[in-house]
């Protein structure tokens, strides 16, 4: 079913993409020639593992990949251009390039086209990732041949560890805020100045006060969480950042 193509050129195909309501054909050379490209391929757009983990983590780690010589990160799926474009918008995955492999030609050429008729999917790609340098596959991480949709080795962290074993990983930061809160604005400024990416959740848009109390035990904002740890409000965040800087 799955084949390791390390040391071999990528298949020469044409990707039918859509840009600004126009068809744009991209050849394999357009995508890979003269560049270092990370590819991750998956069974389908909008599917659970792909949307909740695979795409978001590659998007989050994209700046770190680029610091270590990766020119582009490409997501490939056996879906059409309209579906792939909408999925990218829904995922807010601006750091990635989504390529439609609508007929499965690329996946087939990589030896990764599999039968998913039992799920009503038809032919789809097996889940894998690879590092491609100037059109030649340098390394592949292929998910094991297990039932279902295994997700063990094609993740972004495994690929980054291969490319740059000592690369720093961005912290996972979430801040609970409300509109018009000056302390929230201050906390967000502190995070930006420290170079932190963060997800902002706004009161009465993304969460209720009851949710905030359930999560942090408090009802004031801002409330900041970093890598699963509750930091507190703006003052506590400033103290945390000063300690981190001094460490």
Together in a domain, 49 and 126: yes
223-226 and 229-232 beta bridge pairing: antiparallel
d(Cα 142, Cα 236) in Å, to the nearest integer?
A: 43
Q: What is the per-residue pLDDT for 3? A: 76
Q: Domain limits at 86?
A: 14-163
Mean pLDDT by 10 residues, the chain (247 residues): 84 96 96 98 87 90 96 97 96 96 96 81 90 98 89 96 92 96 97 93 95 94 96 96 87
Q: Tell me, yes or no, whether 168 lies in a domain.
A: no
* CATH code for the domain in which residue 49 is found: 3.40.30.10
Together in a domain, 56 and 142: yes
Which residue, of 163, 190, 207, is where some domain finishes? 163
Q: What is the per-residue pLDDT for 85? A: 96
State the pTM of this model.
0.82
Q: Tell me, yes or no, whether 226 lies in a domain.
A: yes
The domain total for the chain is: 2
Q: Tell me, yes or no, whether 1 lies in a domain.
A: no
d(Cα 30, Cα 103) in Å, to the nearest integer?
A: 19
Give the active site residues.
Answer: 50
Together in a domain, 148 and 110: yes
Q: What is the per-residue pLDDT for 1? A: 52
Q: Tell me, yes or no, whether 45 lies in a domain.
A: yes
Together in a domain, 36 and 145: yes
Q: What is the per-residue pLDDT for 116? A: 80
Q: Tell me, yes or no, whether 8 lies in a domain.
A: no
DSSP state of 208: -
* Contacts made by residues 236-241, CB under 8 angstroms, sequence distance 24+: 237/187, 237/190, 237/191, 238/190, 241/190, 241/194
């Amino acid at each position: 079913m799955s084949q390791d193509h390390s040391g071999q050129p990528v298949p020469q195909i044409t990707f039918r993409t859509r840009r600004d309501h126009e068809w744009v054909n991209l050849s394999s050379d357009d995508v890979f020639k003269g560049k270092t490209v990370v590819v991750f391929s998956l069974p389908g757009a909008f599917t659970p593992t792909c949307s909740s983990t695979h795409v978001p983590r590659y998007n989050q780690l994209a700046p770190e990949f680029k610091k270590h010589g990766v020119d582009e990160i490409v997501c490939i799926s056996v879906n059409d251009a309209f579906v792939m474009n909408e999925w990218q918008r829904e995922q807010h995955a601006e750091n990635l390039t989504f390529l439609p492999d609508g007929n499965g030609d690329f996946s087939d050429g990589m030896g990764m086209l599999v039968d998913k008729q039992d799920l009503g999917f038809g032919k789809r790609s097996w889940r894998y990732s690879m590092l491609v340098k100037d059109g030649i596959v340098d390394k592949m991480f292929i998910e094991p041949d297990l039932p279902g949709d295994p997700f063990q080795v094609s993740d972004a962290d495994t690929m980054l560890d291969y490319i740059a074993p000592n690369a720093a990983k961005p912290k996972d930061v979430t801040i609970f805020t409300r509109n018009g809160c000056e302390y929230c604005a201050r906390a967000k400024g502190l995070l930006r100045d420290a170079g932190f990416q963060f997800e902002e959740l706004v009161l009465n848009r993304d969460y209720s006060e009851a949710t905030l109390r359930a999560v942090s035990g408090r009802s004031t904002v801002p409330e900041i969480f970093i890598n699963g740890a509750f930091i507190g409000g703006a003052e506590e965040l400033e103290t945390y950042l000063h300690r981190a800087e001094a460490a």
